[in-house]
């Protein structure tokens, strides 16, 4: 049935598989206000972008791509507003995207004039498909677009008031022959001649995720081992999520030598989205490594995100969805309440409670309303837990099973979840009022 052939990206050799986990936070760059915004049905207004920007700063992002100023008035005005209203904290670097085209680069520099520090992010597309089908240009012609763009950035950065550094992306990198991607990036680096004091960013996108995560990571390792000026270059990755593996792709890329990750909150972005930085950061926390991002108030972040993007955080979104810490089923509830009881007794700092990958409190959630919830799948452990937590009622061991069945029978007949108040009501009607 499925006979179509698809492009298979090249796979260099690799040895990063020996590493087991990420032991240090990468540099994070949020592209919510650019890649995320450009994929919204209704892009954010200037005020909405400002509110999102402030939330990103509060979470702890030190690098934020704020837009594509040459793309629209709102984008341009947003950049101006940040500068003129002096809204960029000293320890935060803003970044703007520009195509490698003269009039777009010039307009971009008008937008960032006076910035205390901005990264100008230059890109052009390098993949076989884009070269042959979209640009109809040779390899040398495509390389020249990048080099000319890099030279113009260099020139304008000296002429325009402000403090600027540079980033280059070979867009569609993962669909590009690796030796050619390296040649183009090295040619750009030869223009910028980065030093330890004047670093530049080479950002390697999986513009469309077209391979398994380890394949992309091998491409990153190849660049990490072969790029010129490596000590003066920050290698960044920019995974999209077309195959649903954006998080794994980013994680393996860091193991393979990447220093920096561009992504968005909850994976908003073109098509299936950019890589989800919330999941990446919380995965690190679950390994005991500090990501230097603060998601301890996830409900507040979700509320802002849903309001200004008009997108939804799905109920099963890792670490953030309404249901991701919830157990309805009896055996899970029983294990969780036993795990929580052991924890209280032992005061052990290591989190080992079954079925809960992290302590929900670490993302601003509560045990009472989020963890044990009662429906027809629940068991005696869950019902006893609710009566104890919400009403201080410690059921004797011998009563638990019977009370559990009484409660879940009601849920089964009504075909509804039962609130703690309803659970108590059932208990009261049968065992107190009777
Ligand atoms: O996905 C992509 O390739 C991009 C580039 C413009 C960096 O967003
Ligand atoms: Zn992108």
User: For the segment 210-244, what is each residue's pLDDT rounded down to a tens digit?
Assistant: 999 999 999 999 999 999 999 999 999 999 999 99
Q: Of the bound ligands, which one is closest to the alpha carbon of residue 171?
A: 1
> Would the pLDDT of 54 be above 80?
yes
CA of 152 to the centre of ligand 2 (A): 23
User: In 10 A of CB 8, how many CB atoms?
Assistant: 9
Assign 16 a pLDDT band (cuts: 50, 70, 90): low
CA neighbours within 13 Å on the CB side: how many for 28? 26
Q: Are 404 and 385 in contact (CB under 8 A)?
A: no
Specify the pLDDT at position 185: 98
Instruction: Give the pTM.
Output: 0.94
What letters, b where the CB count within 10 A reaches 16 and e where it falls short, cover 393-409?
Answer: eebeeeebeebbebbbe
Nearest-angstrom CA–CA distance, 138 and 132: 8
Specify the pLDDT at position 369: 81
Token pair, residue 178, equals: 């690796």
179's enclosing H/E stretch is helix 178-192
> Would the pLDDT of 49 be above 90?
yes
Q: Tokens 């950002």 identify what position?
A: 203
Token pair, residue 230, equals: 């490596």
- Say how many Å lie between the first and final Cα of the chain, rounded: 65
CA of 205 to the centre of ligand 1 (A): 6
pLDDT digits (tens, 9 = 90+) for 308-355: 999 999 999 999 999 999 999 999 999 998 898 888 787 777 898 999
φ, ψ (nearest 5 deg) of residue 327: -120, 125
Nearest-angstrom CA–CA distance, 306 and 321: 12
Specify the pLDDT at position 14: 65
Q: Tokens 């703007």 identify what position?
A: 96
The whole-angstrom distance between residue 363's C-alpha and the CA centroid of its chain comes to 15
CA of 65 to the centre of ligand 2 (A): 11
User: In 10 A of CB 109, how many CB atoms?
Assistant: 25
Determine which residue's CA is closest to atom 2 belonging to ligand 1: 207
As for ligand 1, residues whose beta carbon falls within 6 Å of it are 35, 97, 123, 169, 171, 203, 205, 207, 238, 240
DSSP track, 136-165: ---HHHHHHHHHHHHHHHHHHHHHSSS-EE
Determine which residue's CA is closest to atom 5 belonging to ligand 1: 171
Sign of the alpha-carbon dihedral angle for 276, 281, 283, 286: negative
Q: Are 174 and 216 in contact (CB under 8 A)?
A: yes
Helix axes 178-192, 139-159, angle to 10 degrees: 30
């Amino acid at each position: 049935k499925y006979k179509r052939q698809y492009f298979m990206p090249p796979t260099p050799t690799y040895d990063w598989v020996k590493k087991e986990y990420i032991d240090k936070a990468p540099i994070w760059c949020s592209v919510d206000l650019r890649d995320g915004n450009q994929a919204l049905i209704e892009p954010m207004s200037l005020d909405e972008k400002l509110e999102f920007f402030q939330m990103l700063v509060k979470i702890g992002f030190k690098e934020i791509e704020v837009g594509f100023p040459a793309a629209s008035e709102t984008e341009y005005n947003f950049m101006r507003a940040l500068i003129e209203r002096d809204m960029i904290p000293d320890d935060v670097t803003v970044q703007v995207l520009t195509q490698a085209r003269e009039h777009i680069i010039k307009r971009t520099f008008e937008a960032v004039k006076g910035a205390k520090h901005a990264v100008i992010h230059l890109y052009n597309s390098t993949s076989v498909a884009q070269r042959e089908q979209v640009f109809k240009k040779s390899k040398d012609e495509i390389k020249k677009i990048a080099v000319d763009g890099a030279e113009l950035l260099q020139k304008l950065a000296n002429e325009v008031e402000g403090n600027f550094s540079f980033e280059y992306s070979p867009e569609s990198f993962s669909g590009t022959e690796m030796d050619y991607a390296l040649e183009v990036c090295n040619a750009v680096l030869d223009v910028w001649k980065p030093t330890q004091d004047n670093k530049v960013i080479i950002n390697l996108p999986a513009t469309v995720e077209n391979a398994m995560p380890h394949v992309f990571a091998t491409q990153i390792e190849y660049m990490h081992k072969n790029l010129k000026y490596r000590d003066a270059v920050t290698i960044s990755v920019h995974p999209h999520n077309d195959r649903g593996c954006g998080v794994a792709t980013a994680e393996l890329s860091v193991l393979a030598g990447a220093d920096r990750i561009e992504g968005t909150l909850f994976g908003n972005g073109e098509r299936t989205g950019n890589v989800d930085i919330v999941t990446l950061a919380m995965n690190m926390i679950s390994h005991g490594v500090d990501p230097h991002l603060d998601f301890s108030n996830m409900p507040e972040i979700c509320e802002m995100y849903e309001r200004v993007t008009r997108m939804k955080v799905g109920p099963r979104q890792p670490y953030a969805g309404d249901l991701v810490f919830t157990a309805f089923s009896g055996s899970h509830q029983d294990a969780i309440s036993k795990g929580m009881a052991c924890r209280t007794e032992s005061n052990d700092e290591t989190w080992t409670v079954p079925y809960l990958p992290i302590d929900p409190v670490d993302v601003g959630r509560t045990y009472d309303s989020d963890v044990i919830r009662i429906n027809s799948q629940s068991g005696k452990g869950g019902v006893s837990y609710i009566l104890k937590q919400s009403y201080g009622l410690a059921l004797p061991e011998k009563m638990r099973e019977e009370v559990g069945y009484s409660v879940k029978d009601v849920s089964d007949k009504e075909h509804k979840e039962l609130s703690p108040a309803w659970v108590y009501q059932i208990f009261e009607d049968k065992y107190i009022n009777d």
